[in-house]
Structure 1
């Protein structure tokens, strides 16, 4: 059975005449009659009661007409949905965001993206940056925000943020009056550090090793506000990205430049050779357009 046969059959049913249907379909009457005979033979049922004046539907013909109408209705719906998809009126994106990064940069971005594309659904999963990278690689997520560097052989990389790490100390700390502090000066300090599933854990650990020592970890957390408040309570020192430091308002905390410079660069990543939906590509284009390689945390789009 072909869709063309069903389409022609519906035209006959509407006209109640093979002759009139043939004129509308721009085919010869004998060819249309032959096609309908072929459909009846395939189904093993008579669909049309033929006479010189009109062609009425049999009970079987009425059933075929009903289902044919449903089939073409669904085809129309499919076409509309695909057109909406390619015109970016609808879609779905699986996004991975590290908790710290998500709260800093993405509420305004997502709110404005949703206003522009209200039928694109964004499913956000919060993972540490290391797990975001793994989940994108495994295909669990369409795209994610990662702390650079990541493997350029595996991922497409779209830079969005370029910042530096800074040192936070209590205002009565021995280093509080300095404008710059070298990592080597933190050898004997107790550090408020990051959990292992955060990319910053490995980045900063490597920096300390390069400076000649292993850091003394007092406490590990995934919450930047808790980390800064522990510094304010004079329990230790911590190192956080510039944008987070800009949100720290506690007067008991001093924020100091760190040397050597430790970059904190973020990027959207997708897995190479994996299909990315229209919605996903549009989200990347949208962020890239509004970031210019840097999303300011209080950006007003």
Structure 2
């Protein structure tokens, strides 16, 4: 068994298709099939069920797929460590950002970092916080920005920013006349929430339930500016972090403080527990913390 066999098998397992995997790996499909078949023969077990229209991993295939990913990620860590020794101040940083967070600081943060380290490539993806944590945990992202708390047994965490949640309503809404409102007063309101892949969805759902009511969710969106637009049209009320609200430039929307209970919104840099951190990652974290 060699690393190339594992790499090819993992790609087939990921794509669930020899054709797609061959295209990704720039191989011919027969060569790829032969390589996977040789791995099965060496392990003396069938890894892929080829009987249907779409290939599926067998039980043994799932087990090998999981361990092969760990082996390949370990080899990537080894390569990164050697690269740091041989090529200081070069490398790549892959970062996951929730869209609601990216607008706050990151254009300037990344711009300033690239000026200082032009040979370090920054790769950005936008996901909800739940997806980011999953991608970091599985080694597909080196670090992510997520809403705290997270599981400290799974992640190394560096606190980054502290904020609080605020209620936003239409300027035509009766609550717009108030400076403060208790959560329980919102029990009959229609709400506009972030979609389920965002940590804010579960977080604010829990806050409402703790206040004694189940929120009536009229709309969901992954875009904070669309949410504020819906609020401005008086289609519901919503919650935003204070720092996000300050980016809103819409006279149709007004913030109302939540009375009696400050609802924190804390962000942190999350990394897979005990995963090797390259020079580039360490430098980016150090740079990032200058802005909090």
**Given the two structures, how large is their TM-score scaled by the length of structure 1?**
0.67
Q: Is the 8 A contact 1:145 1:267 kept in 2?
A: yes
Describe the SS at the equivalent of 1:268.
strand
Describe the SS at the equivalent of 2:176.
coil
Partner of 1:179: 179
Describe the SS at the equivalent of 1:160.
strand
Query: C-alpha displacement at 1:250, in angstroms?
Result: 1.3
Describe the SS at the equivalent of 1:274.
coil
Partner of 1:268: 269
2:268 equivalent to 1:239: no
Correspondence list, 1:156-175, <5 A: 156-175=156-175
Shift in CA distance, 82/233, structure 1 to aligned 2, threshold 3 Å: closer
Q: Is the 8 A contact 1:85 1:278 kept in 2?
A: no
Give the number of equivalent residue pairs. Answer: 210
Superposition RMSD on alpha carbons, in Å?
1.5
Query: C-alpha displacement at 1:93, in angstroms?
Result: 1.0
Describe the SS at the equivalent of 2:212.
coil
Tell me, in whole angstroms, the C-alpha distance in 1 between the residues paired with 2:165 and 2:84. Answer: 45
Instruction: Identify the range of structure 1 (254-263 vs 185-194) with the bigger mean alpha-carbon deviation.
Output: 254-263
Structure 2: stretches of 5+ with no match in the other structure: 1-81
Tell me, in whole angstroms, the C-alpha distance in 2 between the residues paired with 1:130 and 1:156. Answer: 16
Tell me, in whole angstroms, the C-alpha distance in 2 between the residues paired with 1:110 and 1:244. Answer: 19
Q: Is the 8 A contact 1:168 1:239 kept in 2?
A: yes
Correspondence list, 1:1-301, <5 A: 85-86=87-88, 88=89, 90-259=90-259, 260-288=261-289, 290-291=290-291, 294=292
Shift in CA distance, 228/276, structure 1 to aligned 2, threshold 3 Å: same
Tell me, in whole angstroms, the C-alpha distance in 2 between the residues paired with 1:82 and 1:265. Answer: 32
Tell me, in whole angstroms, the C-alpha distance in 2 between the residues paired with 1:128 and 1:153. Answer: 21
Tell me, in whole angstroms, the C-alpha distance in 2 between the residues paired with 1:254 and 1:123. Answer: 36
Q: Which has the larger radius of gyration?
A: 1
Tell me, in whole angstroms, the C-alpha distance in 2 between the residues paired with 1:284 and 1:187. Answer: 41
**Which digits, 9 at most, give the CA deviation of each residue in 1:258-290, with x for residues without a partner?**
1321111101111111111110111011111x1
**Which digits, 9 at most, give the CA deviation of each residue in 1:54-96, with x for residues without a partner?**
xxxxxxxxxxxxxxxxxxxxxxxxxx9756633x1x1011111
**Which digits, 9 at most, give the CA deviation of each residue in 1:204-247, with x for residues without a partner?**
01101101111000000011111001111111111101111101
**Which digits, 9 at most, give the CA deviation of each residue in 1:100-131, with x for residues without a partner?**
11122211000000000000001111110111
Q: Is the 8 A contact 1:192 1:220 kept in 2?
A: yes
Tell me, in whole angstroms, the C-alpha distance in 2 between the residues paired with 1:264 and 1:115. Answer: 30
Q: Is the 8 A contact 1:166 1:256 kept in 2?
A: yes
**Which digits, 9 at most, give the CA deviation of each residue in 1:26-76, with x for residues without a partner?**
xxxxxxxxxxxxxxxxxxxxxxxxxxxxxxxxxxxxxxxxxxxxxxxxxxx
Tell me, in whole angstroms, the C-alpha distance in 1 between the residues paired with 2:122 and 2:155. Answer: 21
Query: C-alpha displacement at 1:151, in angstroms?
Result: 0.9
Shift in CA distance, 84/177, structure 1 to aligned 2, threshold 3 Å: farther
Shift in CA distance, 176/140, structure 1 to aligned 2, threshold 3 Å: same
Describe the SS at the equivalent of 2:177.
coil
Tell me, in whole angstroms, the C-alpha distance in 2 between the residues paired with 1:85 and 1:201. Answer: 43
